Amino acid sequence: MESLQDWLAHLESLHLKGQGGIELGLERVNCVKAVLQQRQECPLIIVGGTNGKGSTCAYLEATYRFAGYRVGCYTSPHLLEYNERVRVDGVPVDDASLCAAFAKVEVARQLVGNVALTYFEFGTLAAWEVFAACEVEVLILEVGLGGRLDAVNVYDADCAVITGIALDHTDWLGPTREAIGFEKAGIYRSGKPAICADPEPPQSLLDHAADIGADLQLLGRDFAYFGDKTQWTFWGRDGQRRGGLANPVLRGRCQLRNAASVLAVVDLLRQRLPVAMQAVRRGLLEVDLPGRFQVLPGRPAIVLDVAHNPQAVAGLADNLGAMGFFESTIAVVGMLADKDIAGTLKTLAGKIDVWLLASLDLPRGAPAEALAGVVADEKLGGSAQCHASPAEAFMRAVKLAGENDRILVFGSFFTVAAVMRAMKHRS
């Protein structure tokens, strides 16, 4: 295999069958990791949670980078290019580095009997190889799904963060917050800082942290924040307050909570990784994270948001309400079939004038007709049209929208990515 696309096609071909190539478990990854002889040479932060993982990782990445450290950051999924998942000092790594890492993992995989790694498992092991080759000084890994049985959890976090717990991926993680909380708490480690930024953590998370002897840090008990529309204040376990902080650049009511988690991490790791407050301030302000309530310049207004569950769309609704008046809002929506489609769309009941519902051409993709059925059955208001793809739906939105209207694109990373590609092609 010569190109990155060749390698990605190979990863796709290795997918375990069923449930869209997802199969949780650590045995496969641990077998290949042992052959690769991967060792942890620098402080490792692992970030899990239902929503807010990407934002928290981005803040941490920027903060430590501005503090002068060489930072490796692994996130998923990507929007446009796979390279986005593996960054060193804020820059996606090049194709050659990824191909070299994939080749190492492939050799190791074959040595243990051609173990059938999933796409995410293969990519996680390869990302580690990239970071080891670059000799990063701080490593940030985002959990893919859950925590306890996620591939990232073969590594031991020096500090683990859970941003929040809501109902999502219930087919794999369980139908309740208690079940999901236990799965996510699996990234905690004995004697190591374990942050939970959910204001109402499930008892299962508290019990697991106590059982393993994790150094649990709870929002509202061990660290907290308060603020207004212009600035905010953080206080941590040491009792010190840090006031006059500018609000994070990313929008949403959850962003102060994410930012508070970042300051909690910085405090807990300061003996190994000293960070000046100026680096924190810059880290919260100088972040570019496409697809998180991203408002594009020009008219009509175009909003891109990867929100795909009720909790995330509730935040999206708040942000939309703060944007001011628009004559109409046209929504381009595509979702995965295993999501809580009704619960997610109901959050915007009465707020959408035209629903342009798109099929996602993926094994887990929901057909547009299923989304239209939810809009009708739940009496969400507005008119509805079905389209074969997000790109087609977006083109229709552009034709319908006047300069005083707003186009909203949401429902999945795949939906936002397809629309971004369509806009790039048009330009």
**Token code pair at residue 352:** 């959408």
3-state helix, strand, coil in the chain (%, to 5): 40, 20, 40
- Give the separation between CA 193 and CA 195, rounded to whole angstroms: 6
pLDDT of residue 114: 87
The CA distances from residue 19 to 229, 281, 375, in Å, are: 43, 42, 26
Tell me which residue of 414, 421, 413 sits closest to 51, measured CA to CA.
Answer: 413
The contacts of residue 310 (CB under 8 Å, 6+ apart) are 166, 167, 340, 343, 344, 346, 347
Which domains are seen in the chain, by residue range? 4-285 (3.40.1190.10), 294-426 (3.90.190.20)
Model's pTM, two decimal places?
A: 0.93
pLDDT of residue 363: 84
Query: Are the beta carbons of 193 and 160 closer than 8 angstroms?
Result: yes
Render 306-350 in DSSP notation, one character per residue: ---SHHHHHHHHHHHHTT---S-EEEEE--BTTS-HHHHHHTTTT
Phi and psi at 217, nearest 5°, equal: -120, 115
pLDDT of residue 18: 45
Stretches where the chain sits below pLDDT 50 are 18-19
Q: Taking the C-alpha atoms of 108, 109, 111 and 116 in order, what is their torsion angle to the nearest 10 degrees?
A: 170
**Token code pair at residue 39:** 């060792």
pLDDT of residue 274: 97
pLDDT of residue 170: 65
By CB atoms closer than 10 A (0-12, 13-18, 19+), residue 244 is exposed
- Give the separation between CA 43 and CA 368, rounded to whole angstroms: 45
Tell me: the pLDDT tens digits for 158-214? 999 999 998 776 676 788 999 999 999 999 999 999 999 999 999 999 999 999 999
